[in-house]
Structure 1
Amino acid sequence: MRLPALPPVRGPLSRIVQLGYTTARLFTQNGLQNHAAATAFYFLLSATPLLLLLSYGLTLLGQIAENSVPATILLAALYEQMRLDSLTELGFIPSQTELTAGSVGLVTLLLSSRGLVNTMQGAFRIIFPAREKRSFVGSWILPLVVLPLLFALMGVAALAQVTLTFLGQNDFIGTGNARVLQVLNSLFGFAMVWALLFTAYWRLPRRHPPARVAAVFALGAIASLGLLLVLFGAFFELENYLSLYGALGGVVFVLIGAYFAFLLLYFWAQALYAYGKADIIALEKLFLSHSGDGDPLERYVFADSHPLMEKYGQIHPAGHALIEEGDTSHTAYFLCSGHAAVYKKTEAGRRRLNELQQGQLFGEMAYLLNEPRTASVVTESEVTVLALPPQILEELMQHSALLSRRIIATLCLRLERMNAERAA
């Protein structure tokens, strides 16, 4: 028995469905899961020298704590809240570290940071394709400064949170005051991570998206990352992960968490790109569906063309001249409904060349050849068309190789027909 067809999705929900479908498809086609794995690996390499630096810092802090009460409180807070004794026993943190090891860790951090940023830039070049190249400063020097600075800021925020928790639990500043300060510190950490994601989504693409749109997608990314952190934290405590699997298992756990985190980061970046290309992608699917291409799922997802109609749609009565021969306009048209005819001026008068049917794209020759209109198009019934400016047609052809081939093939047939008519 044949199942009944599902009703098409309409209204704002259709845009969300189209965005989600396009994002998932582009994400898979671009192989971003592999880029997420590479980025997580470099992230782990960047975190390893941080542990060496942390060990060196703890040694130095222990020396200062011999004569400083605040340093003593800070050292106690670190060991109690971060369970540094257990991490040292499991091999995460070396028990003794010399100054030279700390220097080597800093150099390793700088080099691994470069690899981390390089993989992220590579992923963003695939997500946001562009022909322009970055400057030497933006590509090499800034990442070596920005990423260590980011790690330092995150470390300060984490250190403040640990210290406030310790002070509150031991009633140094009062539980209520400690909670208020913890909330403020959490908001600061949230704002810092959001600012980082916003900067990445806004500035890393060579063609910068609108700042407001980038801010919204950065907010979605940090919300999903927060949910991921909560789920991983719950699993970490529930399974008593370190006790079961030891240091190596902990490293694998961190690597898996980083992999999923970068998956989410790249997914939201891909969604940002898909959002900016929403009209182009919808136009491509509309044109291909009229020509019989595209799978049934795509035809269902992109069945709602009302957003395109609201932005580019025009309705004209019978007898209206959409295009005048000799005109210098470069607007292309897609015939959604109705009929139109193509006419050309001759010595004997206006001659009817052919008829345009629903689903045909016309008027693109003037833009592609950068010449005046070679013929007139007059409606023979009431028609609904999509009027596409030159920049939209250009983006459409850059985005879809299949559609570009169709347009070029149609153009070649028209030129061949025109040459045959001239020869006759």
Structure 2
Amino acid sequence: MTQQEIFVQLLIIGAGPAGLAAASAALQAGVRIVILDENPAPGGQIWRGGEMNWKDARAHAMWQQILSSQLVQYLPATRIVALQAQTLVAEQDDQVLTIHWEKLILCSGAREILLPFPGWTIPGVMGAGGLQALVKAGASLQGKRVVIAGSGPLLLAAAQTAQQAGARVLLIAEDQPWSALCRFFWQLVRQQRAKAWQALGLFWSLRYVRYRACSTVLAASGQQRLQQVRLRQGQQEIELGCDVLACAYGLTPNLELAHTLKCALTEGKVQVDAQQMTSVRNIWAAGEVTGIGGVEQALIQGHIAGLAATAQAIPEAARRVQRQALAFARLLQTSFSLRAGLRALCKPDTLVCRCEDVSAARLQQHADWRTAKLVTRAGMGPCQGRICGTACQFLYGWEAPQLRQPVFPAKTSTLAALAAGSLKETE
């Protein structure tokens, strides 16, 4: 593999809403910027699929500004392998990149929390965000029977996406009771009126879809692929025939890079100040990696991080929007935190680590993640514990898996190039 060395004033990791907003703001200072993202097209998970699929005018405006600037280098389909001090090593299909940066803005986003239950590994069962990603990538749901289950606003968004893709949404099963949902909506009306109207709009678009509170998935079943889902609604159990089950149990920040960079973490997210600066000098963070708050939070935090990283003044209006976004993030956290009762969905024979086929019964024999990993190989598959590690945190109260470099799975040719080159010290 060939090697390329890049020197840059500002490196932005992630080309989602936070990363694009950060680049757009930083460009006003005339600095040279590199935007690095592992996806083949910009937009992150929220604006997935590239500019041809974007419906948000803000995404188009920022991307056009970035494209028209000669100060920005965009590196798509680029996976980070190692970090040390102010040097980052990444791989593309045919080359290894070494990027030396002066300042860094971390916009690494979040991933879905997937909770194990009987049948969750059957083809046709997926995360609600995964369903949205498939639709944005061009997958057809025409005529498919879809059940959306879990908790939180993502249920409505996923149901709308499925409906617009031609699916027949049979049920939206919300785990929280009506009392909690009413409290959430009342707080929205008081604090975030625009979001309250947005929620009403989603409800109206789904007015012909059954929506049930206190409704929880118990199991999925089928031969070869999903055929049926069993749910508890209040004190009753029902069964529905369906082709797709999409579950949403919230999101968790992607902390691998922040952990490697030794940024302080608190309550499962990167700790930042009012300027979005982390505990590490010359590193800022924005978007879901600082806490789950949606696109509005990502945009304003990215904007402020871009201004702060380039020593520009931060307007008071931006600070007001930032405070509103943080208030909404706190409301989400308090309204849709996972109930302890959801742990009972995972039965002894349920696979928790689907990469290495490790059941809950085998994991329950151990006291912590490290011991379970050594004995059962849990977390040693392709996902490197990102799915099962989060599940074990919830199920057993274990600490998050300890991370080490390479940050993500890397090609042997990349590792060989590192060992043979001038980057040996990053190992």
- TM-score of the superposed pair, with normalisation by structure 2: 0.20
Q: Greater helix share, 1 or 2?
A: 1
Larger radius of gyration: 1
Larger fraction in strand:
2
User: With structure 1 as the length reference, what TM-score do the two structures score?
Assistant: 0.20
> Which structure exhibits the higher relative contact order, with contacts defined as CA atoms closer than 8 Å and separated by 6 or more residues?
2
